[in-house]
Structure 1
Protein backbone atom coordinates (compact mmCIF):
# COMPACT_ATOMS: atom_id res chain seq x y z
CA UNK A 1 0.00 0.00 0.00
CA UNK A 2 1.39 3.40 -0.92
CA UNK A 3 0.99 6.58 1.08
CA UNK A 4 0.09 10.02 -0.25
CA UNK A 5 0.35 13.29 1.63
CA UNK A 6 -1.42 16.51 0.75
CA UNK A 7 -2.28 19.68 2.63
CA UNK A 8 -5.08 22.23 2.56
CA UNK A 9 -4.63 25.68 4.10
CA UNK A 10 -7.40 28.17 4.78
CA UNK A 11 -6.89 31.50 2.98
CA UNK A 12 -10.02 33.55 3.66
CA UNK A 13 -13.80 33.19 3.77
CA UNK A 14 -14.46 29.81 2.11
CA UNK A 15 -11.24 29.77 0.06
CA UNK A 16 -8.42 27.28 0.61
CA UNK A 17 -5.16 26.41 -1.11
CA UNK A 18 -4.46 22.75 -1.59
CA UNK A 19 -1.03 21.31 -2.26
CA UNK A 20 -1.17 17.96 -4.01
CA UNK A 21 1.14 15.06 -3.19
CA UNK A 22 3.11 15.99 -6.34
CA UNK A 23 3.52 19.59 -5.14
CA UNK A 24 0.95 21.34 -7.34
CA UNK A 25 -1.20 24.15 -5.96
CA UNK A 26 -4.96 23.79 -6.33
CA UNK A 27 -7.27 26.69 -5.49
CA UNK A 28 -10.41 25.48 -3.68
CA UNK A 29 -13.40 27.69 -2.88
CA UNK A 30 -16.77 26.55 -1.56
CA UNK A 31 -18.25 29.81 -2.90
CA UNK A 32 -16.69 29.08 -6.33
CA UNK A 33 -15.30 32.61 -6.63
CA UNK A 34 -11.57 31.80 -6.50
CA UNK A 35 -11.58 28.15 -7.48
CA UNK A 36 -13.55 24.97 -7.87
CA UNK A 37 -15.57 23.65 -4.96
CA UNK A 38 -14.50 20.41 -3.26
CA UNK A 39 -17.35 18.50 -4.91
CA UNK A 40 -16.46 19.95 -8.32
CA UNK A 41 -12.91 18.69 -7.79
CA UNK A 42 -14.28 15.19 -7.24
CA UNK A 43 -16.01 15.36 -10.63
CA UNK A 44 -12.86 16.70 -12.28
CA UNK A 45 -10.79 13.99 -10.64
CA UNK A 46 -13.10 11.31 -12.01
CA UNK A 47 -13.08 12.86 -15.47
CA UNK A 48 -9.31 13.26 -15.48
CA UNK A 49 -8.67 9.73 -14.24
CA UNK A 50 -11.01 8.10 -16.75
CA UNK A 51 -9.90 10.31 -19.65
CA UNK A 52 -6.26 9.46 -19.02
CA UNK A 53 -7.12 5.76 -19.11
CA UNK A 54 -9.18 6.06 -22.28
CA UNK A 55 -6.47 7.99 -24.14
CA UNK A 56 -3.75 5.60 -22.96
CA UNK A 57 -5.72 2.47 -23.90
CA UNK A 58 -6.69 3.86 -27.31
CA UNK A 59 -3.09 4.84 -28.07
CA UNK A 60 -1.87 1.37 -27.09
CA UNK A 61 -4.56 -0.03 -29.41
CA UNK A 62 -3.00 2.04 -32.22
CA UNK A 63 -6.03 4.28 -32.60
CA UNK A 64 -5.19 7.67 -34.15
CA UNK A 65 -6.76 9.82 -31.43
CA UNK A 66 -6.51 13.60 -31.85
CA UNK A 67 -8.82 14.73 -29.02
CA UNK A 68 -10.78 13.31 -26.09
CA UNK A 69 -13.25 15.24 -23.98
CA UNK A 70 -15.24 13.85 -21.07
CA UNK A 71 -18.42 15.73 -20.17
CA UNK A 72 -19.76 14.83 -16.74
CA UNK A 73 -23.31 15.32 -15.50
CA UNK A 74 -23.99 14.63 -11.84
CA UNK A 75 -26.90 14.55 -9.43
CA UNK A 76 -26.53 15.10 -5.71
CA UNK A 77 -28.68 14.05 -2.79
CA UNK A 78 -31.21 16.62 -1.60
CA UNK A 79 -30.18 16.33 2.05
CA UNK A 80 -26.89 16.75 3.88
CA UNK A 81 -24.49 15.22 3.21
CA UNK A 82 -25.31 16.11 -0.39
CA UNK A 83 -23.28 13.28 -1.88
CA UNK A 84 -23.23 12.45 -5.56
CA UNK A 85 -25.83 9.80 -6.27
CA UNK A 86 -25.46 9.54 -10.04
CA UNK A 87 -22.71 10.59 -12.43
CA UNK A 88 -22.93 10.21 -16.18
CA UNK A 89 -19.75 10.43 -18.25
CA UNK A 90 -20.05 11.26 -21.95
CA UNK A 91 -16.81 10.75 -23.88
CA UNK A 92 -16.26 12.54 -27.18
CA UNK A 93 -13.39 10.94 -29.07
CA UNK A 94 -11.96 12.51 -32.22
CA UNK A 95 -9.48 10.98 -34.61
CA UNK A 96 -8.82 9.18 -37.85
CA UNK A 97 -10.42 5.77 -38.42
CA UNK A 98 -11.32 5.34 -34.74
CA UNK A 99 -13.09 2.04 -34.14
CA UNK A 100 -16.13 2.37 -31.90
CA UNK A 101 -15.44 -1.10 -30.49
CA UNK A 102 -12.03 0.10 -29.29
CA UNK A 103 -13.54 3.17 -27.62
CA UNK A 104 -16.17 1.03 -25.90
CA UNK A 105 -13.43 -1.37 -24.74
CA UNK A 106 -11.26 1.48 -23.43
CA UNK A 107 -14.12 3.01 -21.44
CA UNK A 108 -15.09 -0.38 -20.00
CA UNK A 109 -11.51 -1.17 -18.95
CA UNK A 110 -11.19 2.24 -17.33
CA UNK A 111 -14.48 1.91 -15.46
CA UNK A 112 -14.02 -1.68 -14.33
CA UNK A 113 -10.27 -2.00 -13.84
CA UNK A 114 -8.01 1.03 -14.07
CA UNK A 115 -9.73 4.23 -12.88
CA UNK A 116 -9.24 4.39 -9.12
CA UNK A 117 -11.57 7.38 -8.81
CA UNK A 118 -14.38 5.55 -10.58
CA UNK A 119 -13.94 2.38 -8.53
CA UNK A 120 -13.89 4.37 -5.29
CA UNK A 121 -17.10 6.24 -6.16
CA UNK A 122 -18.90 3.09 -7.32
CA UNK A 123 -17.87 1.21 -4.18
CA UNK A 124 -19.25 4.17 -2.21
CA UNK A 125 -22.67 3.72 -3.82
CA UNK A 126 -22.52 6.23 -6.68
CA UNK A 127 -24.21 5.08 -9.90
CA UNK A 128 -21.61 5.90 -12.58
CA UNK A 129 -22.69 5.46 -16.21
CA UNK A 130 -20.94 6.08 -19.53
CA UNK A 131 -21.58 6.63 -23.18
CA UNK A 132 -19.54 8.00 -26.06
CA UNK A 133 -19.47 9.38 -29.55
CA UNK A 134 -16.74 9.19 -32.15
CA UNK A 135 -16.08 12.13 -34.46
CA UNK A 136 -13.83 11.83 -37.50
CA UNK A 137 -11.12 14.43 -37.66
Structure 2
Protein backbone atom coordinates (compact mmCIF):
# COMPACT_ATOMS: atom_id res chain seq x y z
CA UNK A 1 0.00 0.00 0.00
CA UNK A 2 3.00 2.31 -0.38
CA UNK A 3 2.73 4.34 -3.56
CA UNK A 4 4.79 7.00 -5.28
CA UNK A 5 3.46 9.55 -7.72
CA UNK A 6 5.55 11.56 -10.13
CA UNK A 7 3.98 14.92 -10.86
CA UNK A 8 3.86 16.78 -14.14
CA UNK A 9 6.65 19.03 -12.85
CA UNK A 10 8.84 15.98 -12.25
CA UNK A 11 8.61 15.83 -8.45
CA UNK A 12 7.82 12.73 -6.45
CA UNK A 13 5.29 12.31 -3.65
CA UNK A 14 5.01 9.21 -1.49
CA UNK A 15 1.71 7.95 -0.05
CA UNK A 16 0.85 5.09 2.26
CA UNK A 17 -2.23 3.58 3.81
CA UNK A 18 -3.23 2.97 7.39
CA UNK A 19 -2.07 -0.33 8.93
CA UNK A 20 -5.66 -1.56 9.24
CA UNK A 21 -5.94 -1.21 5.46
CA UNK A 22 -2.67 -2.97 4.67
CA UNK A 23 -0.39 0.08 4.81
CA UNK A 24 2.61 0.68 7.03
CA UNK A 25 2.00 4.32 8.05
CA UNK A 26 5.24 5.43 6.36
CA UNK A 27 3.83 8.42 4.49
CA UNK A 28 0.74 10.64 4.30
CA UNK A 29 -2.54 9.17 3.11
CA UNK A 30 -3.69 10.25 -0.36
CA UNK A 31 -6.62 12.20 1.11
CA UNK A 32 -4.25 14.00 3.50
CA UNK A 33 -2.18 15.10 0.52
CA UNK A 34 -5.34 16.34 -1.16
CA UNK A 35 -6.04 18.60 1.83
CA UNK A 36 -2.41 19.68 2.09
CA UNK A 37 -2.39 20.56 -1.60
CA UNK A 38 -5.53 22.64 -1.16
CA UNK A 39 -3.95 24.47 1.77
CA UNK A 40 -0.85 25.15 -0.29
CA UNK A 41 -2.90 26.30 -3.27
CA UNK A 42 -4.88 28.84 -1.29
CA UNK A 43 -1.88 30.06 0.75
CA UNK A 44 0.00 30.65 -2.52
CA UNK A 45 -2.92 32.74 -3.79
CA UNK A 46 -3.14 34.78 -0.58
CA UNK A 47 0.55 35.69 -0.63
CA UNK A 48 0.47 36.51 -4.35
CA UNK A 49 -2.63 38.71 -4.01
CA UNK A 50 -1.14 40.59 -1.05
CA UNK A 51 2.21 41.09 -2.80
CA UNK A 52 0.48 42.36 -5.93
CA UNK A 53 -1.34 44.82 -3.66
CA UNK A 54 2.09 45.96 -2.43
CA UNK A 55 1.50 44.73 1.09
CA UNK A 56 4.56 43.70 3.13
CA UNK A 57 3.60 40.05 3.60
CA UNK A 58 6.40 37.79 4.84
CA UNK A 59 4.62 34.52 5.42
CA UNK A 60 1.41 32.56 5.33
CA UNK A 61 0.49 29.27 6.91
CA UNK A 62 -2.85 27.55 6.90
CA UNK A 63 -4.10 24.82 9.18
CA UNK A 64 -6.72 22.68 7.50
CA UNK A 65 -9.22 20.55 9.41
CA UNK A 66 -11.80 18.43 7.65
CA UNK A 67 -14.66 16.03 8.17
CA UNK A 68 -15.51 13.22 5.79
CA UNK A 69 -18.68 11.36 4.92
CA UNK A 70 -19.20 8.15 6.88
CA UNK A 71 -20.05 6.03 3.85
CA UNK A 72 -18.22 5.45 0.57
CA UNK A 73 -17.14 7.47 -1.22
CA UNK A 74 -15.88 9.19 1.92
CA UNK A 75 -15.72 12.66 0.42
CA UNK A 76 -14.90 15.74 2.46
CA UNK A 77 -18.10 17.29 3.81
CA UNK A 78 -16.66 20.14 5.87
CA UNK A 79 -13.30 21.90 5.61
CA UNK A 80 -12.03 24.67 7.88
CA UNK A 81 -9.04 26.81 6.90
CA UNK A 82 -7.25 28.75 9.67
CA UNK A 83 -4.85 31.23 8.07
CA UNK A 84 -1.95 32.86 9.88
CA UNK A 85 -0.55 35.67 7.74
CA UNK A 86 2.64 37.42 8.79
CA UNK A 87 3.83 40.82 7.66
CA UNK A 88 4.29 44.47 8.44
CA UNK A 89 1.20 46.65 8.90
CA UNK A 90 -1.08 44.24 7.06
CA UNK A 91 -4.62 45.64 6.90
CA UNK A 92 -7.14 43.02 8.08
CA UNK A 93 -9.49 43.97 5.24
CA UNK A 94 -6.78 43.29 2.63
CA UNK A 95 -5.88 39.93 4.14
CA UNK A 96 -9.50 38.82 4.41
CA UNK A 97 -10.15 39.96 0.84
CA UNK A 98 -7.13 37.95 -0.38
CA UNK A 99 -8.44 34.83 1.38
CA UNK A 100 -11.92 35.38 0.01
CA UNK A 101 -10.63 35.94 -3.55
CA UNK A 102 -8.57 32.77 -3.33
CA UNK A 103 -11.56 30.69 -2.28
CA UNK A 104 -14.09 32.30 -4.61
CA UNK A 105 -12.01 32.88 -7.73
CA UNK A 106 -8.46 31.55 -7.90
CA UNK A 107 -7.87 28.32 -5.98
CA UNK A 108 -8.68 25.42 -8.29
CA UNK A 109 -8.41 22.88 -5.49
CA UNK A 110 -10.94 24.76 -3.34
CA UNK A 111 -13.26 25.06 -6.31
CA UNK A 112 -13.29 21.28 -6.73
CA UNK A 113 -13.67 20.44 -3.05
CA UNK A 114 -16.47 22.92 -2.47
CA UNK A 115 -18.66 20.67 -4.65
CA UNK A 116 -18.97 18.31 -1.66
CA UNK A 117 -17.71 20.25 1.35
CA UNK A 118 -18.91 23.25 3.29
CA UNK A 119 -15.88 25.54 3.59
CA UNK A 120 -15.13 28.09 6.28
CA UNK A 121 -12.06 30.16 7.01
CA UNK A 122 -10.55 32.37 9.67
CA UNK A 123 -7.61 34.78 9.64
CA UNK A 124 -4.99 35.61 12.24
CA UNK A 125 -2.52 38.38 11.39
CA UNK A 126 0.92 38.43 13.01
CA UNK A 127 3.04 41.57 12.93
CA UNK A 128 6.56 40.82 11.65
TM (normalized to structure 1)?
A: 0.86
RMSD, aligned α-carbons: 1.1
Alignment of 1:60-79 (within 5 A): 60-79=52-71
- Where do 4+ consecutive residues of structure 1 move more than 3 Å? none
SS in 2 for 1:102: helix
Cα offset for 1:21? 0.9
Query: 2-side partners of 1:117 and 1:82: how far apart?
Result: 17
CA–CA distance in structure 2, aligned partners of residues 24 and 79 of structure 1: 33
Deviation at 1:73, TM superposition (A): 0.7
Counterpart CA distance in 2 for 1:95 and 1:36 is 31
How far residue 80 of structure 1 moved from its aligned partner, in angstroms, is: 2.0
Q: Distance in 1 between matches of 2:119 and 2:17?
A: 24
Contact 2:75 2:116 in 1 (8 A): no
Separation in structure 2 between the aligned mates of residue 67 and residue 22 of structure 1, nearest angstrom = 24
**Separation in 1 of the partners of 2:116 and 2:14?**
28
How many residue pairs get aligned? The number is 123
Long gaps (5+) in structure 2 = 19-23
1:58-97 equivalence runs, <5 A: 58-97=50-89
Matched with 1:29 is 16
SS for the counterpart of 1:80 is: coil
- The answer for unaligned runs of 5 or more in structure 1 is 1-13
State the 1:33 CA deviation: 2.1
